[in-house]
Amino acid sequence: MTNRQIALFCLIAMSFAGCAALTNPYLGSCGKTPNLEIVSLTMFPDPLPESRKIDQWRAIVRSDSSELCQTTLAIVEEGKTQPITPERQVELTLGANEILFTSVDSYRMRGNRICFEITGYLDGNKTALKSPRRFCARVIDKGVWSMR
* 124: CATH: 2.60.40.10
| Number of domains the chain is built from | 1
Name the pTM for this structure: 0.79
- pLDDT, residue 34, reads 78
Contact present, 136 and 114 (Cβ < 8 Å) = yes
Q: Report yes or no on 13 lying in a domain.
A: no
- Residues 75 and 59: their CA atoms lie apart, in Å, by 9
- Residues 112 and 110: their CA atoms lie apart, in Å, by 7
- pLDDT, residue 12, reads 60
What range defines the domain where residue 104 resides? Answer: 25-146
CA 52 to chain centre: 22
The edge-to-edge listing of strands for the beta sheet with 56-63 is 36-44, 56-63, 95-101
Per-position pLDDT tens, the chain of length 148: 666 656 555 556 555 444 444 455 555 566 566 789 999 999 999 999 988 999 999 999 999 988 888 899 999 999 999 999 999 999 999 999 999 999 999 999 999 999 999 999 887 788 999 999 999 999 998 889 999 9
Q: Report yes or no on 15 lying in a domain.
A: no
Question: Side chain identity at 11, as an amino acid letter?
Answer: L
Q: Report yes or no on 99 lying in a domain.
A: yes
